[in-house]
Structure 1
Amino acid sequence: MAPDGTGNGKSLAYQGRKASRAKSEHRRRLILEAALRIVVREGVRGIRHRAVAKEADVPLAATTYYFKDIQELIVDTFTLYTEKALGVVNRFADQFYLPLKEMSVSHLKALTSGENVSEEELDKVLDYLVTQLANYVKEQTGNERDMLIAEQAFRYEAIVNDRIRELALMHRKALSDKIEEFMQLVSSPTPREDAEMLMGLFHSIEYSVLLVGSDNADFDHIRRTLKRYLALIIPDLLRQRKS
């Protein structure tokens, strides 16, 4: 069992044979890490007992010992993915949501005050938020690139596999909750809907960067896109507070 990172009390549960010793658990983890690497390179259909055993550098009997069939191995591979992805969600909160609380009072005023807000002050807020979001995208498509590729496979499997669908919904809710917290922080009258739109924008941008590669991505264009989205929302929030 592993904490899901959402704070809702749910836990991730692996289906395969439980390891009773630390050495045994280490080998089981090696097998799942190897299977996840195969997903990144070849997709889910690349997961086979023999291929995973070779990738993990363990005897073939080890994979069949811990996982009774391919389906169980696939589900536990995506359970490991979910565990890792929830860690990314928490880092997102650390890098983006929490620093927002530490912004200067004058900057936060542009988000929380219905009084006269200068274009310069609003632009400072937008630039700060855009920088944080763009840095998150760059991190995801750079250092976390393999996780994003696994996520593409994860989405398809979630459609056709009930157990993986549960994992996908858990991960999606964790990310949605964090973004919704941000929307509440900036006093959005519709935080859930605004969070949904920002998640959709994230997914679109990340997929576009995966297609061309992080080194070839136009991050200036990405920043302009993010700023356009936020510029549409924040003035609307200010008007809501005045009314």
Structure 2
Amino acid sequence: MGVTDNVALANGKLLQYQGRKASRVKSEQRRRLILEAALRIIISEGVRGIRHRAVAKEAGVPLAATTYYFKDIDELIIDTFTLYTEKALMVVNDFTEQFYQPFLQGISSSDLRTRDGANKIVSSLAFQLRGYIENQTGVERDMLIVEQAFRYEAVLNERVRELALMHRQALYSKAVEFLQLVNSDSPEQDADILLAMIQALEYGTLLSAQPDYDHIEQTLKRYLQLLVRDFISA
């Protein structure tokens, strides 16, 4: 997907790039190269490593190109995190389409009313969420590192904070939707817990030299069992 000036999110909001608009395909490609280079610098050096000269060198473009598209470092940082958000939500949407929606379509209220049915659902979902975390901390590890930088920068930078809140709301909405479908009586609160737990498990995995995904799956399973146990009547 090429960089566009406005990217629609699932909740109808728009991700808006702040830098100079690209009017031609070649121009758009160059701006994309610059933003991809800035992401790589965040991964290796953190946000403070983003400088016009460093980004231009990493992107293989003239220094004048970075100052043409981005009037200052703040604008470059904002658009870099906008690109990150676009990429991160694409991963979540792919997970939703491949695992989450098909899984939900197979759930019936009666499944949640029996112990065997509920345990089967819990085991299946815990396994799928484990796969998601494995992907995030493996294939998407670099993007997860950017996410950690994103959160810290959001505390310091009001414009990044607005972007982070938009990103979180998109994830939160998906979590609430799922929890409503499994009959949670407090879907908003349970969504907060679920997102916090996944983020904590991802962060712990980043710190570990040998991640224990079996433990992660059992942790997820434990939470989901607590979530559905009130629905079980037998």
Scaled by the length of structure 1, the TM-score of the pair is 0.89
Q: CA deviation at 1:13?
A: 1.3
1:142 Cα deviation (Å)? 1.0
2:226 to 216, 229, 232: 232
Q: Deviations over 1:6-42 (max 9, x none)?
A: 232x211111111111101110110001001110111
Query: Any residues of structure 2 matched to 1:117-128 within 5 Å, and which?
Result: 117=114, 119-128=115-124
Runs of 4+ in 1 over 3 A off after TM superposition: none
- Deviation of 1:156 after TM superposition, in Å, equals 0.8
The 8 Å contact of residues 2 and 83 in structure 1, kept in 2 or not, is answered as: no
Counterparts of 2:173 and 2:107 in 1: how far apart (Å)?
Answer: 25
In 2, the alpha carbon distance for the partners of 1:162 and 1:184 equals 32
- The one-letter amino acid of 2:68's match is Y
Question: Structure 1 residue 30 and structure 2 residue 33: aligned?
Answer: yes
* Aligned residue in 2 for 1:110: 111
Unaligned runs of 5+ in 1: none
What is the count of residue pairs matched by the alignment?
A: 230
1:197 aligns with 2:193: yes
Return the match for 1:4 from 8, 21, 30: 8
Deviation at 1:84, TM superposition (A): 1.1
Give the Cα–Cα distance (whole angstroms) in 1 for the partners of residues 60 and 127 of structure 2.
42
* Counterpart residue number, 1:67: 70
SS in 2 for 1:100: helix
Q: Does 1:48 align with 2:42?
A: no
Partner residue of 2:204 out of 204, 208, 217: 208
2:168 is matched with: 172
Identity within the alignment, %: 60
Is residue 9–residue 15 contact of structure 2 (8 Å, CA) maintained in 1? no
1:182 aligns with 2:185: no
Q: Distance in 2 between matches of 1:86 and 1:122?
A: 29
Q: CA deviation at 1:61?
A: 1.1
Whole-angstrom distance in 1 between the partners of 2:110 and 2:44: 47
- 1:94: Cα distance to partner? 1.6
1: CA distance, partners of 2:91 / 2:166: 14
AA partner of residue 173 (structure 1): Q
Code of the residue aligned with 2:87 in structure 1: it is K
8 Å contact kept, 1:189–1:237: no
CA distance in 1, matches of 2:46, 2:97: 31
Question: Partners of 1:179 and 1:186 in 2: how far apart?
Answer: 11
Write out per-residue CA displacement over residues 212-241 of structure 1, whole angstroms, 9 at most, x where no aligned residue. 14xx111111111111111111012346xx
Q: In the superposition, relative to structure 1, how do residues 28 and 222 fare at CA in structure 2: closer, same or farther (>3 Å)? A: same
Deviation at 1:90, TM superposition (A): 1.2
Residue in 2 that maps onto 1:13: 16
The answer as to whether partners of 2:151 and 2:164 remain within 8 angstroms in 1 is: yes
| Aligned-residue RMSD, C-alpha | 1.7
Partner of 2:146: 150
Aligned CA distance change for structure 1 residues 55 and 5 (closer, same or farther; 3 Å): same
Is contact 2:56-2:62 (8 Å) kept?
A: yes
Structure 1 pair 235/104, CA: closer, same or farther in 2 (3 Å)? closer
Deviation at 1:197, TM superposition (A): 0.4
Distance in 1 separating the partners of 2:200 and 2:43? 19
The amino acid of 1:205's aligned partner reads L
Q: Structure 2 unaligned segments of length 5 or more: list them.
A: none
